[in-house]
Amino acid sequence: MTDDELLKQFLDGNESAFKELVSRHQHNLYRFVWRQVGNHDDTSDICQASFVQVYRKAAQFQGHAAFKSWLYKIAINLSKNHHRSAARQRIDKNVEPEIIEKTGSDTGCENVLDDEQKARIKSVISRLPEKQRLTIQLRFFQECTLKQVAEIMECPIGTAKANYHHALKTLRQFMQGDDYE
């Protein structure tokens, strides 16, 4: 059953359809949000808030984009709000980037990298401009298509492609040993 069918069933009063949507998306959404905020408590809060918003605003979903795109857009907005709030409260702005989680990803790519390489790649990704960073995270770690990336980021597909291209170019330079500044 598709996400859209489950959402329709939920709107028709079937609470278990919503539970199925949560079950389908909670793990990948958690991993995506964790890459945005970097700690368990905030990630859990943002994921829960994302699903609460979906629950409350399900009737407003128009289906112009995929359900997954809508869910991730909500999570991105909540993550941005979290960063704005945290920036106002942060005293120490020189926080070291977290090391990529050791559980690996669905792509399996992280499993072949040693911890030092993971940390260096994570550091480079964290320093990319926000749109490039989000594009790489959505495309590579969440395996979204460029069309889905464009929907989530509310931009033309050409912009999503350009962000992805520029981010990959920077990552290639890093892998070839060029310093990233």
* DSSP-derived secondary structure letter, 113: S
Q: Tell me what pLDDT residue 177 has.
A: 67
The 10s digit of each residue's pLDDT in 151-181 is 888 889 899 889 888 888 888 777 666 554 4
Q: Tell me what pLDDT residue 137 has.
A: 85
- Residue identified by tokens 């995929």 is 66
| DSSP per-residue string spanning 101-124 | PTT--TT-GGGGS-HHHHHHHHHH
Of the pLDDT bands very low, low, confident and very high (cuts 50, 70, 90), residue 13 is very high
Max Cα distance, the chain (Å): 56
Domain positions in the chain are 1-91, 112-181
Name the burial class of residue 163, with classes exposed (0-12), middle (13-18) and buried (19+) by CB atoms within 10 angstroms of its CB: buried
Q: Tell me what pLDDT residue 12 has.
A: 92
Q: Judge whether residue 57 has pLDDT over 60.
A: yes
Q: Tell me what pLDDT residue 19 has.
A: 94
The 10s digit of each residue's pLDDT in 65-108 is 889 989 999 999 898 887 666 544 443 333 333 333 333 344 44
Q: Judge whether residue 113 has pLDDT over 90.
A: no
CATH number at 1-91: 1.10.1740.10
Segment 109-137 mean pLDDT: 75
Q: Tell me what pLDDT residue 128 has.
A: 84
CATH number at 112-181: 1.10.10.10
- How far is Cα of residue 80 from the mean position of the Cα atoms in its chain? 11
CB count in 10 Å sphere of residue 36: 20
Q: Judge whether residue 38 has pLDDT over 70.
A: yes
Of the pLDDT bands very low, low, confident and very high (cuts 50, 70, 90), residue 134 is confident
